[in-house]
């Protein structure tokens, strides 16, 4: 796997960063779903909601990180993982930006953190993509 990731340094670096991000999110939301969901302005109405936070924010984050590493391994290049991560991150950022205005959430503390952080993340991924080509 190491050889695959270093075969294209920008794409390999982005793939490792994406996987670590998703694994980190998984740990955070699986171990302390209520505390962390609250910082995302999410509050479940009952215990099933707590489980949904673990499943969708934790479980799917883990699956995304693992899939990106698998994709690099299966295709013998990290480039496809980088592109997959770019699709994900860019879609989240664009959707958040659009609905920030629709839902009037621009004054919320989480939004004030998410927009610049996700914007920087998307720019970094696209920079890695152009450097990897």
Contact present, 37 and 44 (Cβ < 8 Å): yes
Q: Which tokens in the block code for residue 83?
A: 């592109």
Domain of residue 89 covers: 2-132
Which tens digits make up the pLDDT trace of 75-133?
999 999 999 999 999 999 999 999 999 998 888 888 888 899 999 999 999 999 999 98
Contacts of 66 (CB under 8 A, 6+ apart): 19
Tokens 């920079």 -> residue: 127
Contact present, 34 and 53 (Cβ < 8 Å): yes
Question: What is the number of domains present in the chain?
Answer: 1
Which tens digits make up the pLDDT trace of 54-88?
999 999 999 999 999 999 999 999 999 999 999 99
- What distance in Å separates the CA atoms of residue 24 and residue 50, rounded to the nearest whole number? 18
Closest listed residue to residue 110, CA positions, set 24, 16, 43: 43
């Amino acid at each position: 796997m190491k050889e695959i990731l270093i075969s294209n340094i920008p794409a390999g670096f982005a793939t490792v960063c994406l996987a670590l991000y998703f694994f980190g999110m998984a740990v955070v939301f699986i171990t302390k779903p209520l505390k962390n969901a609250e910082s995302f302005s999410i509050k479940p109405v009952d215990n099933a909601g707590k489980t949904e936070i673990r499943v969708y924010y934790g479980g799917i984050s883990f699956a995304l990180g693992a899939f990106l590493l698998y994709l690099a391994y299966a295709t013998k290049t990290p480039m496809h993982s980088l592109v997959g991560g770019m699709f994900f991150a860019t879609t989240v950022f664009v959707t958040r930006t659009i609905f920030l205005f629709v839902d009037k959430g621009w004054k919320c503390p989480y939004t004030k953190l998410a927009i610049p952080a996700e914007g920087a993340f998307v720019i970094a991924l696209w920079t890695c993509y152009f450097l990897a080509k």
